[in-house]
């Protein structure tokens, strides 16, 4: 939707949190009025798009225009009406195609690109400050939970805390020129908050439980998911069994069954850590130790976690039944990659988070060459301090010299495909429902505009010029 929105935040209620939040609109994305000052200070307010009438033809001229469908024009222009692209290319081409515009926006020192896609995020952690990783994942999880408990103490209840944290994440996401997100979220009420935001994409409800009573809890969560999904809007609800080492086969099977009945997307963390493969081969190692420390392990579970060649091999029964978005896949071999391609899996690679945890030599280029759809995610803000997909692109370009056009595709069309959205809507193809983002660069320099954006040492100066008409996305 073009322009800014205004409203207020919900107050805590004794009602069902999901129903309460779905009944409340959150158009302005102002700072939480009852959040502690130290959290409101960290909010990055998204720049308001220029005021435009969506029913009129808006022409945006710029120093350059680029998308993942092959458009590369400098100078360039894009014309839109009703949030749909009418034409894009050189300014003369666009003017000839649409005639005199009703309004014009000039951005001669900016590169126009489609709005970006963050395929894997944890917005519910956005109120936490980044902290270093000391090398032990179990200890890191313990520290993360402790920090979140301390955060809870500043709010009336844990639900309110999580909603405010998600709100912070939404604000920072919008400020980064990202309008579509695959968010992993525990709290159904906070998912409703995400659904009513200016973002589109998918809110994946996270599921945990190896077995025993937790399966009943997960059944209750899936039932709530089904009721909530019946009234979904621009943001689809999906399901996310957390990972094989924390979620058993019963839950994966139930998630697939539910998704196939209702057309919901599926995601999971897979092969994020090297010792995950060890756990799935013989049920030993740090992942087993973590479950024992949490009191979640029973020796009867060995039957579910032994005899598997790798995490991808363990996942095969579920990959065969539905297309999955797999987060990370940091530890895969040639056989795994071939299986991912065969079963139409998408992989959300989070480059800065991978480096933070010490995961090196990700095979994203090998995956793409094999036909796997690899997109970009940020993971959580605690790893690196921002929810910017452009920062992920910059990181890969500066570290790996990845082709700029491939990075743009990973940040736009590949992410759309992974979230079961139309990839065309992340391009400037005629009739595309694409948000338009402007990133500042030097039009007088000889260097390619996108390369300038990817190599600049300065924080990106980015503005969303045309946001999504979220009321039109169903």
Distance CA 38, CA 33 (A): 12
Q: Residue 326 above 60 pLDDT?
A: yes
pLDDT at 2: 26
Q: Residue 270 above 90 pLDDT?
A: yes
Query: Coil, strand, or helix at residue 433?
Result: coil
Q: Which residues contact 165 (CB under 8 A, 6 or more apart)?
A: 123, 124, 125, 126, 127, 128, 151, 190
Q: Residue 15 above 90 pLDDT?
A: no
Domains of the chain plus CATH, in order, are: 116-424 (3.20.20.140)
Confidence of residue 211 (pLDDT cuts 50, 70, 90): low
pLDDT at 193: 83
Q: Residue 44 above 80 pLDDT?
A: no
> What is the crossing angle of helices 158-175 and 188-195, to 10°?
30
Give, rounded to a whole angstrom, the gap between the first and last alpha carbons of the chain.
Answer: 14
Instruction: Indicate the burial class of 361 (C-beta count within 10 angstroms; 0-12, 13-18, 19 or more).
Output: exposed
Question: How many residues are present in the chain?
Answer: 474
Strand ranges, E, within 359-440: 373-376, 436-440
Nearest-CA neighbor of 162 among 176, 151, 146?
Answer: 151
Contact 453, 111 (CB under 8 A): yes
DSSP β-bridge partners for residue 200: 180
Question: What is the pTM assigned to this prediction?
Answer: 0.88
pLDDT at 162: 87
Q: Residue 79 above 60 pLDDT?
A: yes
pLDDT at 196: 82
**Both tokens assigned to 178:** 């990202």
């Amino acid at each position: 939707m073009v322009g800014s929105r205004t409203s207020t935040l919900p107050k805590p209620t004794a009602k069902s949190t999901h129903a309460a939040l779905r009944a409340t609109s959150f158009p302005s994305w102002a700072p939480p009025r009852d959040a502690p000052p130290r959290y409101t200070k960290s909010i990055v307010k998204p720049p308001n798009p220029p005021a435009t009438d969506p029913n009129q033809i808006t022409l945006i001229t710029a120093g350059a225009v680029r998308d993942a469908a092959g458009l590369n024009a400098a100078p360039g222009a894009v014309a839109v009406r009703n949030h749909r692209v009418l034409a894009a290319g050189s300014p003369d081409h666009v003017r000839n195609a649409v005639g005199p515009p009703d309004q014009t926006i000039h951005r001669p020192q900016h590169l126009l690109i489609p709005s970006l896609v963050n395929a894997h995020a944890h917005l519910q952690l956005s109120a936490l400050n980044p902290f270093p990783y000391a090398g032990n994942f179990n200890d890191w999880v313990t520290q993360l939970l402790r920090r979140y408990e301390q955060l809870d103490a500043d709010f009336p209840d844990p639900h309110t805390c999580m909603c405010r944290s998600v709100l912070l994440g939404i604000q920072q996401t919008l400020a980064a020129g990202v309008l579509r997100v695959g968010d992993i979220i525990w709290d159904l009420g906070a998912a409703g908050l995400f659904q009513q935001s200016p973002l589109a994409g998918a809110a994946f409800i996270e599921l945990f439980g190896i077995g025993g009573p937790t399966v009943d809890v997960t059944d209750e969560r899936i039932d709530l998911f089904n009721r909530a999904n019946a009234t979904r809007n621009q943001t689809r609800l999906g399901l996310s069994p957390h990972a094989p080492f924390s979620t058993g086969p019963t839950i994966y099977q139930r998630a697939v069954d539910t998704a196939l009945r209702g057309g919901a997307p599926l995601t999971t963390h897979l092969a994020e850590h090297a010792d995950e493969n060890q756990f799935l081969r013989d049920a030993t190692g740090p992942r087993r130790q973590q479950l024992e420390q949490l009191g979640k392990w029973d020796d009867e579970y060995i039957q579910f976690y032994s005899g598997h060649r790798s995490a991808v091999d363990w996942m095969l029964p579920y990959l065969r039944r539905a297309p999955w978005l797999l987060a990370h896949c940091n530890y895969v071999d040639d056989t795994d990659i071939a299986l991912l391609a065969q079963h139409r899996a998408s992989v959300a690679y989070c480059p800065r988070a991978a480096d933070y945890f010490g995961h090196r030599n990700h095979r994203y280029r090998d995956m793409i060459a094999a036909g796997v759809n690899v997109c970009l995610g940020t993971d959580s803000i605690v790893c690196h301090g921002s929810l910017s997909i452009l920062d992920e692109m910059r990181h890969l370009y500066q570290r790996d010299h990845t082709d700029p056009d491939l990075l743009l595709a990973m940040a736009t069309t590949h992410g759309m495909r992974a979230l079961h959205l139309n990839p065309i809507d992340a391009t400037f193809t005629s009739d595309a429902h694409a948000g338009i983002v402007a990133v500042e660069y030097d039009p007088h320099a000889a260097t390619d505009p996108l390369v300038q954006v990817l190599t600049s040492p300065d924080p990106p100066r980015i503005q969303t010029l045309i946001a999504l008409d979220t009321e039109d996305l169903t």
